[in-house]
Structure formats: C-alpha cells, structure tokens
Amino acid sequence: MQELPQTLTVSGLKHCRGEVTLPGSKSIANRALLIAALADKPVVLKNLLRSDDTARMLEALNALGVEVEEVTPTQVVVHGCSGQWTTVPERLLLGNAGTAMRPLVAVLAATLTGKQSVTLDGDPRMRERPLGDLIDSLVERGAALDCLQNQGYPPLAVSSGLQAGDFTIDGSVSSQYVSALLMALPLLAEDSTLTLTGDVVSRPYIDLTIAMVGSFGITIKPISERQYAITGGQQYRSPGEYFIEGDASGASYWMAAAAIAGGPITIQGVGQHSIQGDIGFADVVQRMGATVEWGENSVTVSGSGALQPIDFDGNQIPDAAMTIVPLALFAKGRTSICNVANWRVKETDRLAAMATEARKFGATVEEGADYLIIDPPAVLKQATVDTYDDHRIAMCFALLGFSANGVNVNDPGCCKKTYPQFFNELSRLCHIDLLP
C-alpha cells in the first residue's frame, strides 16, 4: 500500500465511472481464518483480505501453533488443527479487531484444556469496547474468564471450563457476540441451545455465520427466530477451498459515489446471491434515486443527478448505513438514520463522530441515543474531517470530494483496516490524481 500523507485533500471530483473489484470481506475473512484453523484438514482460502484486522487474526493463529502457508498475498493454505492448539501463548494482542477478539474469546473458552490460559488484549480503543454480555453468557456455563482491568472489557484471561447446555445472550449490542457462540458451541462435547434476547442487531451477520460454518460441515438448527439448537461433538470439516466474497460494506462507497456523480460503476465481488447483509445498501441508493442492476457476482449503479432524502432503519446493516451520512449531505431535504445505537461501540463512537464531522460542512445534525437527523446546507462548506482511527469514517467523508469545495481527510491511512487501496481506486475511477 502506498504511504498516504497525514492529511489528504480530496477535491475536484466530477465523475466516477468504470469497474472496481472489491477486496475480500473482513467479516468473512476473519471468520474463515478461524474456522479453517479449527478444521480437520488444510483449507485453501481465496480472495483473502490483507488488512490490519486480518493481520491480527493471522498473528493470533500463528501464536496458537497454526501453520498458514502463503501462496499469494490473497491466497493462503490454513493447516487446521481440529481445535487442538499446539502452543498456547501467555498473551494475544489483537489491536482493534473486534472480528478477532469476540470469536477468539468464545472459541478458546470452548477448546482450551487443563491448566491452559491465555490473555486477550488490544489497543486502547479495544479496551473501551464492551464484552460484558458475551463474558456473562460464557461464565454462566462454566467458562473461566477474568477481566484484568475493568469488568466486561479487555484485557481478558481465558481458561478452560466451558460446559454445554442452555446459553442466553443479549443480541442488542453486537451480532459478533452471537456469531462467536455459534462458532464455538458445536465444539463442546454435549448439545446446547442458544437463545437471543433484546432487539437483535445486524441479524444478517448471524445468518452469514450460520452459512459459513455450514460450508465447513457444522449443523445449526433454528428453533425460532430467537433460538438455535446446536449439536455437540461436531467437527469442522475442510471443504478443500473456500472463496471469500468481496466486502459488501466496502461496496457501499462505490454505490454512493455512483449515486452522487452519475456513474455507472460496476462493482465486482458481490452479486445477487451474496451472503452479506450489507448488500442491502443497494436498496438505499435506489430509494435515493439511483438505478441498480444485478449480476451473478456484480452490481452496477448509475446516478440520476438528484438525490432524494430518506428515512432509514439501519439496525440490520449498521456498517453500510454510515454511508447514508455523506449521501444525506448531497440530498435535497431531511434524512434520518435510526436504530443504530451499536454505532457507539464500534471502532469509535460513530454516532457522535458522524454528527460532529457532518456539522463541519454546514449541516444541521440532531444526534440522539440511537439516531441522526441531518438537514444539509444550501451550499456545502469546505472542511477538514477527523477520522478517529476509523476506516469507515474516512471512506464516508472522502465522498465529499464531489462537493464544490472538497474535503481534507485527516489520517487517510486508517483505511488499511479493511480497504488499503481505497484512495488509489477512488483516484482511478474519478480519473484524477489524488495521491502525492
């Protein structure tokens, strides 16, 4: 990845058209890496995203004794250990990778044996991201988990002791908690049930996890929308090869760019049969005035020249829903985004951050506990946005480069978390040299 300046000026963008191939999905990649490590035989993972978050998972697996052989930068062979770690380090450092921290807590609680113990830790922001509901669910079934600084937060010491049975977890904070349990419980000796309480957030990510473990031979039976039956003593089976879909969350920026600037943009890597919920962002840009055409593994978006405001419940696609904020700044009227309380427990407090940064362009923004209401100004001001070490904030506000006055993006390099080539691709599709 080209080294980016501390502040990148994005301006003069008039058109955005062409074809772009998405990097592999972070959510699928980190799940696939851990599941492959639990498999009985080697697994070839194709279209693997190479980013900060996947690097943290790869480092953790290596520390646990899992051999990962790199064929190309985006293709690796994971030599599964059937859940029997050959080494158990004292500490795993996971940065700010929630897709590594959450599943590893549950999977290690299910697979560590005897006196084995490992401490999971992260960067300062990870130490502020809650784990309490997941910890409580595991401790109730015998897991030995010890929060070493603040209760319910990393750093967290994990030891053996988890027992099968009836698990309950609040699904309103993070779907990653639910996915972590769905990945871990089949490894226990006896049968379990998992019951979800609260207003379940990001359900498509739960469905994604069930589909993925199914590809590796694991059966999870829905009893109802809120309860699952999980047979114990199952074994993750290698499918031989597993292809990682393109990042549907990343697709949202190109859909938005086409809606703002006309396009057309053809996005390769996700299509009409994608297993990712964030592909639903195509419905958002359609409602705001764009045209969407689906292919088997692609989607093409064209803009109409005028964006309509929208009222949107972002509960099911919270990551992609962030991209509505820059669209709202170009729309003709008031836009509201509701039911996104879990934005506050992501890489940063995204509700506060998105409200603060949108106001810099002259917008009137009302921030509630779980919503934003945005009234765009008649003329967008030029602004310098702070990105809070949050890749999605950087990519969202880069779209203000299509405004008359442009935008300065602080710390654009934070995009390396999921989309290291984002600004290179933006330059190419807009036919303008943004990079020094």
The yes-or-no verdict on residue 68 having pLDDT over 70 is: yes
Q: Report the number of distinct structural domains present in the chain.
A: 2
E strand intervals along 358-418: 364-367, 371-375, 383-385, 407-410
Tokens of 179: 């996915």
Q: How far apart are the first and last CA of the chain?
A: 13
What's the mean pLDDT in 49-74? 96
Nearest partner of 23 among 55, 46, 57, 56, judged by Cα? 46
The yes-or-no verdict on residue 262 having pLDDT over 90 is: yes
The yes-or-no verdict on residue 109 having pLDDT over 90 is: yes
- Point out the domain boundary residue: 231, 264, 286: 231
Nearest partner of 302 among 317, 323, 314, 288, judged by Cα? 288
The pLDDT score that the predictor gives to residue 2 is 66
Range of the domain at 220: 26-231
- Known binding positions: 26-27, 31, 98, 129, 174-176, 202, 319, 342, 346, 350, 392, 417
Task: Report yes or no: 205 and 171 within 8 Å, Cβ to Cβ.
Answer: no
The pLDDT score that the predictor gives to residue 276 is 94
The pLDDT score that the predictor gives to residue 282 is 98
Catalytic residue positions?
A: 319
Residue 324 lies inside a defined structural domain of this protein: yes
Question: What one-character DSSP code corresponds to residue 382?
Answer: P
Residues 226 and 326 in one domain: no
Distance separating alpha carbons of residues 280 and 266, to the nearest angstrom: 16
* CATH number for 402: 3.65.10.10
The pLDDT score that the predictor gives to residue 305 is 80
Residue 277 lies inside a defined structural domain of this protein: no
- Point out the domain boundary residue: 231, 246, 266: 231
- Point out the domain boundary residue: 175, 196, 231: 231
Q: How many CA atoms lie within 13 A of 212 on its CB side?
A: 30
Element housing 79 (H / E): strand 75-79
Tokens of 127: 């130490």
Residues 40 and 89 in one domain: yes
Residues 120 and 54 in one domain: yes
pLDDT tens figures, 407-432: 999 999 999 999 999 999 999 999 99
- Known binding positions for phosphoenolpyruvate: 26, 98, 129, 176, 350, 392, 417
Residue 338 lies inside a defined structural domain of this protein: yes
Residues 32 and 12 in one domain: no
- Residue 371's pLDDT band (cuts 50, 70, 90): very high
How many CB atoms neighbour CB 280 within 10 A?
16
Distance separating alpha carbons of residues 436 and 433, to the nearest angstrom: 8
Distance separating alpha carbons of residues 16 and 310, to the nearest angstrom: 23
- Known binding positions for 3-phosphoshikimate: 26-27, 31, 174-176, 202, 319, 342, 346
Residues 14 and 64 in one domain: no
Helix, strand or coil, per DSSP, at residue 401 = helix
Distance separating alpha carbons of residues 68 and 128, to the nearest angstrom: 31
Residues 224 and 341 in one domain: no
Distance separating alpha carbons of residues 350 and 347, to the nearest angstrom: 8
What is the percent of the chain with per-residue pLDDT over 90, rounded to a whole number? 96
**Beta strands 220-224; 7-10: pairing state:** unpaired
